[in-house]
Amino acid sequence: MTSNLNPLELVLQASIIVQIVMALLLLASIVSWSIMLRKRSELRRASSEADRFEEVFWSGGDLTAMFRAIDQSRRVTKGMESIFEQGFREFTRMRQHGATAAAQLIEGSRRGMRVALLRESDRLEHSLSMLATIGSTSPYVGLFGTVWGIMNAFHGLGNVQQATLAMVAPGIAEALIATAMGLFAAIPAVIAYNRYADQVSRIELRYDTFVEELSSILQRHATMPRSGQGPAAEAHA
């Protein structure tokens, strides 16, 4: 009986339906862990990049020079830097095309920043829905395997005169392994989803706050005559 209850042997001797369920749960666990590791690195990088950009931005330097340096680097910008680039590019473009009304300039720059913000939000939230799906469905998939395995175990008892625990234990044990695998796949996915969703919300709030702050700076300079010195970022009080 001890030999028959070896987990590996139980998995190998399980019915084909239960084995398929276990394989799906194992695949779901691998996918969720790969997403968790990638998202952990991505969110850390996004937060550190935002810290570095804000440090440079609020140093009081010339924003026009900052924009030109970003534009001339010809690299793909991300995060807060991308929001700044798109907003300031639209502000500069509209001024060069003769737009002088402050409301028009700010509306154009905010439109560019909002597009960049939505793009960054979509990038940060990518794959989070997969974690939520794995976390919410894996227990039920495991439960399906458990129910199927128990049904098979009791179905086999119908063909014998006398049922014993030794006869039914392997079938029930293999069924419960499916439940355990479902929980193993679901619990880390749910924890990671809640944690990363909170981190994404915090980063998105920083981006949204930056949009308002840059809009305020551009608002104060929208009606100023153009000169060699562009708007500068005022340090926080």
236 belongs to a structural domain: no
Paired residues of 159 in beta bridges: none
| 17 falls within a domain | yes
Give domain status of residue 34, yes or no: yes
- Whether 57 is in a domain gets the answer yes
The pLDDT score that the predictor gives to residue 99 is 63
Number of domains in the chain: 1
**232 lies in some domain:** no
User: Domain for residue 2, yes or no?
Assistant: no
Q: Quick one: what percent of the chain has pLDDT higher than 90?
A: 46
**The model's pTM:** 0.81
Over residues 136-159, the pLDDT tens digits come to 999 999 999 888 888 877 776 666
pLDDT confidence bin for 236, thresholds 50/70/90: very low
Residue range 1-6: average pLDDT? 52
What DSSP assignment string belongs to 95-147? HHTT---HHHHHHHHHHHHHHHHHHHHHHHHTTHHHHHHHHHHHHHHHHHHHH
> In this structure, is residue 72 part of a structural domain?
yes
In a domain, 154, yes or no: yes
pLDDT tens by residue, 175-219: 788 889 999 999 999 999 999 999 999 999 999 999 999 998 888
d(CA 74, CA 79): 16
195 vs 94, higher pLDDT: 195
Domain assignment of residue 19, given as a range: 7-221
Task: State the CB neighbour count (10 A cutoff) for residue 7.
Answer: 11
